[in-house]
Amino acid sequence: MAHNLLMLVGDYVEDWEVIVPYQALQAVGHEVDAVCPDKEEGDTVATAVHDFTGEQTYSEKPGHTFELSATFDDVDAESYDGLIIPGGRAPEYLRTYDEVVECVQHFFEEDKPVAALCHAPQLLNAAGVLEGRALTSYPAVRAEVESGGGEWHDGVTVDGNLVTGRVFTDHVEWISEFLDVLGTDVQHGEPMPASDD
């Protein structure tokens, strides 16, 4: 069964953390509306590529531009079956928008599936939805998870409607677990035979 999903993004969202789930969820038949406050359908957000090259934390490089597929002011959280929040720098400032925080709260109040990755728990903490929840995040966000009343785990974590991952290297398991929570049954057919040409 196809679901209507909402993805909250902003400038300097992590490149792989927005593009990969956006495309993967559509590939299995879901509709995904990617929105950003103060921007409209067709506008773009800048993404950032976070790289781990041996320093104490990640480096940040310019990524792609990512086109929004809907207008934030036009969306009604009631009409969506699930929420995706990628990481990067976007959650840090998206949490300053009351309307974004209220949108996140709706999905928890209605017990709808939520997939959050990397720095996304910064936004979940601002929404006050972490108390008593098991989850993970980018390790540097652990203090915010715990100060918000969450129990931090080191790996993809499912707690009821909430599916969390640490970073983009968790994509396969994180997306797979989110599909399970959504009730998505992905059918695998036989591979096509190799061409003799």
Q: Which residues are catalytic?
A: 118-119
Between β-strands 44-51 and 13-14, what pairing exists: parallel, antiparallel or unpaired? parallel
Question: HSE (CB half, 13 Å, CA atoms) of 86?
Answer: 32
DSSP conformational letter for 179? H
Q: Which residues of 9-44 are buried (b: 16+ CB within 10 A; e: fewer)?
A: bbbbbbbbbbbbbbebbeeeebebbbbbbebeeeee
Identify residue 177 by its one-letter amino acid code. Answer: E
Using CA atoms in the order 77, 78, 83, 88, what is the torsion angle rounded to 10 degrees? 10
SS3 state at 101 = helix
Q: What is the DSSP letter of 148?
A: T
